[in-house]
Amino acid sequence: MNAPDRFELFVLPDGVKKLTITPDTKIPNAATFKIEKEDHTLANMLRMQLLEDPKVLFAGYKMPHPLDHYFILKVQTTPDTTPAHALGNAITELIQTVGAMKNKFEMDLIRARAFEEAKSNPVGDADDLSSHNVDMDF
């Protein structure tokens, strides 16, 4: 089979950096980031988070080829900040967002399990109220 080994999708070879930054010489306050061993999932999340920043003028990415496991992210910012600083802020905000989503998911999972447990273990049947000493004054 011609498919590459699965570990090649996420294991960095020796001497390869996860992130390389190349300043753009033609466009002011712009840079190109090459991020190794990642795909559309991270690329699109970074792009969208960068575009939330009012100091980011442009953010876009491309995947050069489906068999190449990296993406190119281009970022242009206002003179107030640098593309590297904007990317760092976007990464920090994404980490916080994903952490909050994880916490919410875990709380909802606990709540759903408790609900299912309560459904499967009813306290008593409505027909069997005579066995309970319940005083009801109407």
Residues with Cβ within 8 Å of residue 10, at least 6 apart in sequence: 37, 69
Angstrom distance (rounded) from CA 27 to CA 5: 39
Angstrom distance (rounded) from CA 122 to CA 117: 9
Residues with Cβ within 8 Å of residue 54, at least 6 apart in sequence: none
Structure tokens at 23: 């300043």
Q: Tell me what pLDDT residue 101 has.
A: 97
Are the beta carbons of 60 and 32 closer than 8 angstroms?
no
Domain parsing of the chain, residue ranges: 16-120
This model's pTM is above 0.85: no
Q: Tell me what pLDDT residue 52 has.
A: 98
Are the beta carbons of 33 and 21 closer than 8 angstroms?
yes
pLDDT at 66 exceeding the cut of 90: no
Angstrom distance (rounded) from CA 45 to CA 59: 11
- Least confident window among 10-14, 68-72, 86-90: 10-14
CATH topology of domain 16-120: Gyrase A; domain 2 (3.30.1360)
pLDDT band at 137 (very low <50, low <70, confident <90, very high): low
